């Protein structure tokens, strides 16, 4: 996880319109749009290149689980026509190539500074500007900050006793070595069974002498049915991209999934099973769109959960292992559903074993392996597939100090509070892309990223037109939004799971359902209505401090 600085450059100083933190898909598109407004902007990223998630997560088997024809930028028709995806679900190397292609095509790099961590952003109420500092000595005064820091970019390493004593190699899926890892002949421990583990275990097991998986919570996983992208399938999208993208933007998750508007529990069993079989056969996350009440009605959810459990029992030959892998402690979909290639079948291989660490947690990492219940599992390498301090971690790791001297960490002590997931009261001119309180991680992130970037761009253009330079949400608007986000979450089954959506994977993190589950379509309409009403719920001000929130 150490950062190497391969490029020399002198520290930056002076005034700029916008500092963007993060050069993933969010930061890249933000820069492109701000240039279109004629604003000066600079992007900082710790990484040595663009791509964010797809720069860091180079573990074996890493790929997206939203179809590539949908998990891609929609803002430029020529771009979406000319780029060719090779698989239905692109792998990490291809997505990273795409990010680099976009960076080149739109000449983004000249305003990007890599291998640079933004450490501080402090608002000065006198100048209404942010003082931004980095770990390479940059000190910029920015009118606006856009935090494109990612929801799943602050990797989390559990603090197992003895972790540093391990004599072999350790890896975190979110910081995978660029040169790759050769596990040939190695005994490998994988800790965790979330999406990253579920993608990587089958690939690691093809190479390693033995893989021991340490599972605390089994997850539901649906086969991806990935395959080569056919010319005709790509064409079917490209021929009507604008219309399809427009339709996706108004869906619940930003994905065209053919949702069935029917209750699972009210559908006769035989018909229900046929529908599940069809969804299972076509694969992917759209399994959850099989019925309209899977995420709100426990009885309906149980039918889907049991269907998947039965599939696991069919696939995994050893009944005890199958039962361990079959999730029973949370409704299906309330932890991020996983998508795999041969995950369950991998447990039929003689070189793969599963250790349950729910009831007997990992006690320690020893010099030679992993200790559970007094038994030492000797390994040569440990893969930590232990996830992220999701949604808030990348933000709270920066010293962000607002108008009244309070830090973001203090403001969010009891859980993140935002207005629309875009801004926080007390932190003027600081925007977040896919922040907590927006649909974000519950959606096709490309759709949500583009929506936020477009909204922020329009907002900055509007401020300029009104000769304003400062925008901040009111506490009242923020409180009402937070209440709404909670209220909607509690109409669903989501809060019943100890998920990272709830902050449950981080000790001491407040248990609050962080994303907005009202759906990307409804959310977009709300954001647009707020803007159309003169930025309702925000206070706009200018050099003369003219308040013009609602004209
Ligand atoms: P990121 O891509 O996370 O980029 C944020 C960048 O900010 C990082 O490069 C980071 O280094 C930088 N940064 C953070 N803090 C600082 C700082 N203080 N100073 C400087 N730089 C900083 N979403 C989907 O919709 N579909 C998928 O199939 C999907 N698959 C995923 C698979 C994996 C393995 C992971 C981890 C996530 C996946 N996601 C998926 C979510 C994914 O994060 C988003 O789709 C998207 O890539 C996020 O883009 P972003 O620009 O918002 O953030
Ligand atoms: O992380 P996770 P991830 N002892 O938090 C376990 C996206 N993504 O990197 O569930 C033992 O899901 C933990 O156990 P538990 C996607 O949004 C997408 O896999 O807390 N185990 C869990 O099993 C995803 O949801 C793709 O009980 C410990 C695992 O580590 C998100 O990123 C691919 C432990 C962490 O799972 C995060 O996924 C990859 C401990 N002390 C990622 N601490 C796609 O396919 C943690 N664990 C698109």
pLDDT digits (tens, 9 = 90+) for 384-393: 999 999 999 9
Minimum CA distance residue for ligand 2 atom 1: 387
Q: What is the mean pLDDT of residues 457-476?
A: 97
Residue list, ligand 2 pocket, CB within 6 Å: 64-65, 152, 158, 173, 191-197, 199, 214, 216-217, 336, 339, 357, 362, 385-388, 441, 500, 505
Q: What is the mean pLDDT of residues 167-175?
A: 98
Best residue among 153, 399, 400, 500 to mutate for probing ligand 1's pocket (most ligand atoms within 8 Å of CB) is: 153
Q: How many CA atoms lie within 13 A of 488 on its CB side?
A: 16
Name the nearest CA neighbour of 342 among 45, 60, 132, 115.
60
Q: What is the mean pLDDT of residues 497-524?
A: 95
Best residue among 137, 149, 453 to mutate for probing ligand 1's pocket (most ligand atoms within 8 Å of CB) is: 149
Minimum CA distance residue for ligand 1 atom 53: 150
pTM of the model: 0.97
Minimum CA distance residue for ligand 2 atom 10: 217
pLDDT in tens, 131-144: 999 999 999 999 99
Best residue among 196, 443, 497 to mutate for probing ligand 2's pocket (most ligand atoms within 8 Å of CB) is: 196
In this predicted structure, the answer to whether residue 545 has a pLDDT above a threshold of 70 is no
Ligand nearest to the CA of 116: 1
Give residue 543's pLDDT: 80
Best residue among 54, 153, 157, 194 to mutate for probing ligand 2's pocket (most ligand atoms within 8 Å of CB) is: 194
How many helices (H) does the chain have, and how many strands (E)? 16, 20
Whole-angstrom Cα distance, residue 224 to residue 549? 47
Ligand nearest to the CA of 395: 1
470-473 and 538-541 as β-strands: parallel, antiparallel, unpaired?
Answer: antiparallel
Q: How far is the CA of 144 from the centre of ligand 2 (A)?
A: 33
**C-alpha of 242 from chain center:** 25
Structural domains in the chain plus CATH codes: 6-50+108-154+390-550 (3.50.50.60), 163-384 (no CATH)
Give residue 5's pLDDT: 66
Q: What is the mean pLDDT of residues 178-191?
A: 97
In this predicted structure, the answer to whether residue 530 has a pLDDT above a threshold of 70 is yes
Comparing 544 with 508, the larger pLDDT belongs to: 508
pLDDT in tens, 220-240: 999 999 999 999 999 999 999
Residue list, ligand 1 pocket, CB within 6 Å: 21-27, 44-47, 52-53, 55, 57, 62, 64-66, 71, 117-118, 148-153, 196, 394, 398, 433-434, 444-445, 449
Ligand 1 atom at minimum distance from 443 CA: 25
Please give, one letter per residue, the 3-state secondary structure of 224-287.
CCCCECCHHHHHHHHCCHHHHHHHHHCCCCCCCCCCCCCCCCCCCHHHHHHHHHHHHHHCCHHH
Whole-angstrom Cα distance, residue 331 to residue 304? 9
pLDDT in tens, 27-71: 999 999 999 999 999 999 999 999 999 999 999 999 999 999 999
Give residue 187's pLDDT: 98
In this predicted structure, the answer to whether residue 465 has a pLDDT above a threshold of 50 is yes
Give the 3-state secondary structure of residue 382. Answer: strand
In this predicted structure, the answer to whether residue 6 has a pLDDT above a threshold of 90 is no
Q: How far is the CA of 169 from the centre of ligand 2 (A)?
A: 20
Confidence bin at 259 (pLDDT 50/70/90): confident
Instruction: Tell me the average pLDDT of the chain.
Output: 96
Whole-angstrom Cα distance, residue 194 to residue 507? 18
Ligand nearest to the CA of 393: 1
| Inter-residue contact 174 to 389 (CB < 8 Å) | no
| Inter-residue contact 81 to 244 (CB < 8 Å) | no
Cα angle 123-126-129, degrees, rounded to a multiple of 5: 40
Ligand 1 atom at minimum distance from 117 CA: 19
Q: Which helix (H) or strand (E) holds 482?
A: helix 475-489
Give residue 544's pLDDT: 54
Q: Which of 106-110, 214-218, 282-286, 399-403 has the lowest mean pLDDT?
A: 282-286
């Amino acid at each position: 996880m150490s950062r190497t600085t391969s490029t020399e450059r002198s520290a930056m100083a002076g005034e700029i319109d916008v500092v963007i933190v993060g050069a993933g898909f969010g930061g890249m598109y933000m820069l492109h749009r701000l240039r279109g407004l004629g604003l000066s902007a600079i992007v900082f990223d710790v990484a040595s290149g663009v791509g964010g998630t797809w720069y860091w997560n180079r573990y074996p088997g890493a790929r997206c689980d939203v179809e590539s024809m949908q998990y891609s930028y929609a803002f430029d028709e020529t771009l979406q026509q000319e780029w060719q995806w090779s698989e239905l679900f692109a792998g990490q190397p291809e997505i990273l190539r795409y990010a680099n292609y976009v960076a080149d095509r739109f000449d983004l790099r000249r305003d990007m500074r890599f291998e640079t961590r933004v450490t501080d952003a402090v608002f000065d109420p006198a100048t209404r500007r942010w003082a931004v500092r980095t770990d390479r000595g940059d000190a910029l005064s920015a009118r606006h900050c856009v935090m494109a820091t990612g929801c799943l970019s602050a990797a989390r390493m559990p603090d197992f006793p003895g972790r540093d004593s391990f004599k072999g190699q350790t890896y975190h899926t979110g910081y995978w070595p660029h040169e790759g890892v050769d596990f040939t002949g190695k005994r490998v421990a994988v800790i965790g069974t979330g999406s990253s583990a579920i993608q990587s275990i089958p690939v690691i097991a093809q190479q390693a002498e033995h893989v021991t998986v340490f599972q605390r919570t089994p997850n539901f996983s649906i086969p991806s049915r990935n395959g080569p992208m056919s010319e005709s399938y790509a064409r079917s999208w490209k021929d009507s991209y604008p219309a399809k993208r427009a339709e996706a933007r108004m869906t619940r998750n930003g994905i065209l999934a053919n949702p069935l508007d029917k209750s699972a529990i009210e559908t006769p069993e035989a018909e229900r099973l046929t529908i599940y079989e069809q969804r299972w056969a076509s694969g992917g996350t759209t399994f959850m769109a099989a019925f309209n009440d899977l995420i709100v009605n426990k009885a309906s959810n149980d039918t889907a959960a049991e269907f998947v459990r039965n599939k696991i029992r069919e696939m995994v030959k050893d009944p005890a292992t199958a039962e361990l892998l079959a999730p029973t402690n949370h409704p299906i979909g309330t932890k991020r559903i996983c998508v795999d290639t041969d995950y369950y079948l991998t447990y039929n291989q003689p070189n793969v074993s599963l250790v349950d660490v729910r009831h007997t947690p990992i006690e320690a990492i020893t010099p030679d392996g992993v200790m559970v219940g007094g038994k030492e599992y000797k390994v040569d390498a440990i893969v930590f597939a232990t996830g992220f301090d999701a949604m808030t971690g990348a933000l709270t790791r920066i010293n962000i100090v607002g108008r009244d001297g309070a830090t973001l960490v203090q403001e969010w002590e009891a859980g993140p509070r935002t207005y629309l997931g875009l801004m926080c009261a007390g932190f003027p001119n600081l925007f977040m892309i896919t922040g907590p309180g927006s649909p974000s991680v519950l959606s096709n992130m490309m759709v949500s990223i583009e929506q936020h970037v477009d909204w922020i761009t329009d907002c900055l253009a509007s401020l300029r037109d009104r000769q304003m330079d400062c925008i901040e949400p009111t506490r009242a608007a923020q409180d009402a939004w937070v209440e709404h986000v909670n209220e909607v979450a509690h109409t669903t089954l989501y809060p019943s799971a100890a998920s990272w959506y709830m902050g449950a994977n981080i000790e001491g993190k407040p248990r609050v359902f962080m994303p907005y589950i009202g759906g990307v379509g409804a959310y977009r309409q709300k954001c647009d209505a707020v803007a159309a009403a003169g930025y309702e719920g925000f206070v706009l001000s200018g050099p003369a401090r003219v308040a013009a929130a609602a004209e």
